[in-house]
Amino acid sequence: MPSVYIKTYGCQMNERDSEAVAAQLVAKGFTLAPSEHVADVILLNTCSVRDQAEQKALNKMENVAAAVRRSRPHVRLGFLGCMAQSRGRELIDRLPDVDLVIGTQKSHRTADYLDALFAGRLDQVVDVEEEKGSEAAIHEHLINRAPAVPSVTAFVSIMQGCNQYCTFCIVPYTRGAERSRTIPDIVTECRELIDRGVKEVTLLGQIVTSYGKREVGERNGKSAFVQLLEAVHEIAGLERIRFTSPHPRGYGDDLVEAYLRLPKLCESAHLPVQSGSDRVLKLMHRGYTRERFLGIVEKLRRARPEMGITTDIIVGFPGETEADFEETLSLVRGISFDNAFCFKYSPRRDTPAAAMPDQVSREVIEERHRRLLDLVNEIGKSKYRHYVGQQVQILVEGPSRKTPARLEGRTRKNKILVFEGSERHRGRLLDVHITRSGSFTLYGEPAILNESTTPGKAGGFES
Ligand code: 5AD
């Protein structure tokens, strides 16, 4: 059977879609290739959120196509994901070596299409149609199945699409309208993952706080999303629940209160603010003011004082003045985010912002981006330093990505912690003593409470 290599660009939703496609291909008998150089099928799962992401995937495909044309002409090439959806056939017109373009609602058909291509039943595939029920088609996992992909954490896609229509964002056009899976369906998938050794799930969607608005609805003052959190929380053996990304508007009191009731819900929140200026927030169509955002953060910190809060910020949105930008800086300083992902505004086709007046020049965007990054890094450094000396719980995920001789895990606040450990620690919830902080990384040592030898003391380090 042919082997497949999938390269993924962009968000966690894309990571998850790629994994599901890979699992579906494996179930059909395809194998997974360790690199593009030996694969019979090369798929790029693309991102459209900024122009840079599109250019990267286009350049990659151009290079891949040139290489396989020379030496391995049997290789099939395909685009999946948001750029496949938004550009469709245009991609084949531009890169005629491409055999498949599969839109975001059709990724579960990849295996069938590849079968048809290899059997000669089809010559080329472009399928970017909408498909009813496609939100429930992403449920297969490779995790802890042959070929073994050991993992104690998993992403679970709970919904697709977005109805928010922020004026800068291409996602509603590439992912379609909001569609949610059912609670029992999601719980079943989580349960299966727990049975396979997973300890932590991250519920995924473009805008998870809008989960099930239409399909599930409110009950007893609880949003559908909170009902889902409660149902997932019930699963025995599950230790931790996370979700991403929420919309600040979705932080009703029911969700804030869920942090008090549901101990598996980790005290970290990724709250994309985008700007600190009311004028810009309005132009962006975000649906909240600076004041309201500050209020949400305050409520969350009241519920869990040590809540880790991260955000996304766009600099150089059309019309953003120096005064608007300074409002963003002061908001970042005031909230003291644990981390902020800072993006340079990138005009996207068909979005209202691309046609707005007063587009900000590249130079100004670069300069503001630099200043914002400096501030975010300075705050991050002092926040991380503040953790040194504390004892925290981590879930050990496996070898450290930066230094594979060591292990890493995440704290409940979603901070990566690296420590000297061994394979036997993998999958364990471990108390660690934080000894040092680096750039958005913590370092520590396992700490064990040994009450019989050190009565009353939280001391004693494992050798
Ligand atoms: N330009 C720059 N950044 C963008 N984002 C979304 N659209 C754009 C754009 N046109 C950012 C937002 C979002 C994150 C995933 O990407 O900050 O939260």
Pocket test for ligand 1, best of 165, 312, 317 (most atoms within 8 A of CB): 312
- Residue that is written with structure tokens 């309208």 in the block: 177
pLDDT of residue 459: 33
For residue 446, the SS3 value is strand
pLDDT at residue 254 is higher than 70: yes
Ligand 1 atom closest to Cα of residue 169? 7
The CA distance from 41 to 74, in Å, is 9
The CA distance from 251 to 234, in Å, is 22
Q: Quick one: tokens of 380?
A: 């991050």
pLDDT at residue 2 is higher than 90: yes
pLDDT at residue 151 is higher than 80: yes
Which residue type occupies 389? Answer: G
Is the shortest distance between the CB of 272 and ligand 1 below 6 Å?
Answer: yes
Q: Quick one: tokens of 216?
A: 């599930």
pLDDT of residue 439: 86
pLDDT in tens, 173-230: 999 999 999 999 999 999 999 999 999 999 999 999 999 999 999 999 999 999 999 9
Pocket test for ligand 1, best of 169, 293, 359 (most atoms within 8 A of CB): 169
Ligand 1 atom closest to Cα of residue 168? 10
Ligand 1 atom closest to Cα of residue 245? 18
Mean pLDDT of the 336-363 span: 97
C-alpha closest to that of 16 among 215, 171, 195, 160: 160
The CA distance from 184 to 181, in Å, is 9
Q: Quick one: tokens of 412?
A: 């409940």
Binned at pLDDT 50, 70 and 90, residue 450 comes out as very low
pLDDT of residue 449: 53
Give every CB contact of residue 370 below 8 A, 6+ residues apart in sequence: none
Q: 79 CA to middle of ligand 1, Å?
A: 21
Q: Among residues of the chain, what percentage have pLDDT more than 90?
A: 91
pLDDT in tens, 369-420: 999 999 999 999 999 999 999 999 999 999 999 888 999 999 999 999 999 9
Binned at pLDDT 50, 70 and 90, residue 143 comes out as confident
Is the shortest distance between the CB of 274 and ligand 1 below 6 Å?
Answer: yes
pLDDT of residue 193: 95
Mean pLDDT of the 9-32 span: 95
pLDDT at residue 454 is higher than 50: no
Which residue's alpha carbon is at the smallest distance from atom 18 of ligand 1?
312
Q: How far is CA 214 from the centre of its chain?
A: 24
Ligand 1 atom closest to Cα of residue 344? 2
pLDDT of residue 247: 97
Q: Quick one: tokens of 202?
A: 């991250």
pLDDT of residue 147: 59
pLDDT in tens, 428-442: 999 999 999 998 999
pLDDT in tens, 29-55: 999 999 999 999 999 999 999 999 999
The CA distance from 172 to 169, in Å, is 7
For Cα atoms 150, 262, 430, give the angle at the middle one, nearest 5 degrees: 40
pLDDT of residue 94: 97
Q: 271 CA to middle of ligand 1, Å?
A: 13
The chain-wide mean pLDDT, for the chain, equals 94
For residue 258, the SS3 value is helix
Q: Quick one: tokens of 348?
A: 């996207």
- Residue 37 backbone phi and psi in degrees, to 5: -70, -20
Binned at pLDDT 50, 70 and 90, residue 102 comes out as very high
Is the shortest distance between the CB of 317 and ligand 1 below 6 Å?
Answer: no
Binned at pLDDT 50, 70 and 90, residue 146 comes out as low
